[in-house]
Amino acid sequence: MRKAVDTVFRYLAVLQCVPAHPARKTTTRILAELREKDPEFNVSARSMQRSLEQLSARFPITCETVGRTNHWYWIDSHAMTQLPAMTEHTAFALRLANEYLRPLMPPATLRLLDSYFNHANRLLKGSALGRWANRARIVARGPLLTPPPVKEDVQRAAYNALLNDRLLEINYRSRSQQRSQRVALNPLGLVFRETVAYLVASAWHYPDVRHYALHRMSKPRLLDQPAGTPPGFRLASHIRDELRFSYPLASGNIPLRAAVSPEVAEHLAERRLSGDQRIARHADGRIVVEASVANTQELRWWLLGFGSAVEVLSPASLREEFAAQSRAMQAMYETEAPS
């Protein structure tokens, strides 16, 4: 029994040493690698050759003979995903990762995983989990905007700079400028906001952290100098605590008070604005929502999205902002639309 178990483990170790096409390894090289991993791997070259021949009858490995030397390889690059055998649940997770997480993965990682993704799709074909993957979707809010195109060399350089902690030199054109400016960035993180990819970075030796859209970059060059991280910077805190991608206008919260329609009240009863949110129906029939919220540009976009279904009551400064917006829109719509 002990001998049979040892043989199984030896066969598994041999299969792991065989490279995927187009790479090749000789029988001698495979044996040497096995002995490096485990000095007790005491088999002869002839036994190793016999083991490889036996395995090739059961697994998709083969050899190319050059002279009297056999060069072994897996026939296709995804074949190794069968060791250990991929379960349907693993295949399902890989399919979702390929569909939803692909933009976050460095190109080198994607190249390595593509064979696994392809194998996962084959394994799920016709299965219950395969059907589930076709019946569940994540839907973004608002119209489906086309992602701005990102140059391939820019994406590759930005991901490599972030992965290897290297400075990235680029030409960058901001929204407010017509001409590009050459800048050296310390990459700190990658964030996807809806369909736009941003490199979170500081420029040159300055400590302030900004967001650089990848589609506005050109002529990238990866520098040899190591990137520097501002003291105490954490990407999660930058997004969640500092709300930098919500575009804060002032620090701290504001006490929002708004009259809302019954539909909006029901919406906010299910998805609360804050822990201290209160919804009350007044004697005049109005439904008033009160909550402490961050003072951000995103708050304003969100409130404006409800149109006349939300009336900002306080704070007074925010109400005046919305009143000014309303007056501007009224003046715009009172004129005849241009033909």
Q: Is residue 144 part of a domain?
A: no
296 shares a domain with 270: yes
d(CA 322, CA 293): 17
Last residue of a domain, one of 199, 215, 240: 240
Two tokens, residue 34: 């096995």
Mention every residue, 6+ apart, whose C-beta is less than 8 A from residue 17: 25, 30, 33, 34
What residues make up the domain containing 117? Answer: 86-135
Last residue of a domain, one of 181, 207, 240: 240
226 shares a domain with 161: yes
Q: Is residue 146 part of a domain?
A: no
Q: Is residue 147 part of a domain?
A: no
- What is the pLDDT at residue 105? 85
Owner of token pair 């009858």 = 57
- What is the pLDDT at residue 6? 58
73 shares a domain with 11: yes
Two tokens, residue 288: 């008033």
313 shares a domain with 294: yes
Is pTM beyond 0.85? Reply is no
Q: Is residue 295 part of a domain?
A: yes
73 shares a domain with 6: yes
Nearest to 249 by CA among 180, 301, 315, 296: 296
- What is the pLDDT at residue 8? 73
- What is the pLDDT at residue 76? 67
217 shares a domain with 168: yes
Cis before 231? omega within 30: no
Q: How high is the mean pLDDT in each 10-residue block of the chain (339 residues)?
A: 58 83 88 80 84 83 88 74 70 89 83 78 88 86 86 94 94 88 95 92 91 96 91 92 91 94 95 95 90 96 94 96 94 86
Q: Is residue 143 part of a domain?
A: no
225 shares a domain with 304: no
CATH code (residue 300): 3.30.70
- 88 neighbors 96 (Cβ within 8 angstroms): no
Last residue of a domain, one of 46, 61, 81: 81
- What is the pLDDT at residue 1? 40
286 shares a domain with 218: no
Extended beta strands in the chain, E state: 25-26, 61-66, 69-74, 166-172, 181-193, 196-203, 209-213, 217-226, 248-260, 278-281, 287-296, 310-314
- 24 neighbors 72 (Cβ within 8 angstroms): yes
Number of domains comprising the chain:
4
327 shares a domain with 256: yes
213 shares a domain with 175: yes
Q: Is residue 163 part of a domain?
A: yes
94 shares a domain with 36: no
Q: Is residue 37 part of a domain?
A: yes
Q: Is residue 130 part of a domain?
A: yes
φ, ψ (nearest 5 deg) of residue 80: -65, -15
CATH code (residue 11): 1.10.10.10
Q: Got the DSSP string for 121-133? A: HHHHTTSHHHHHH
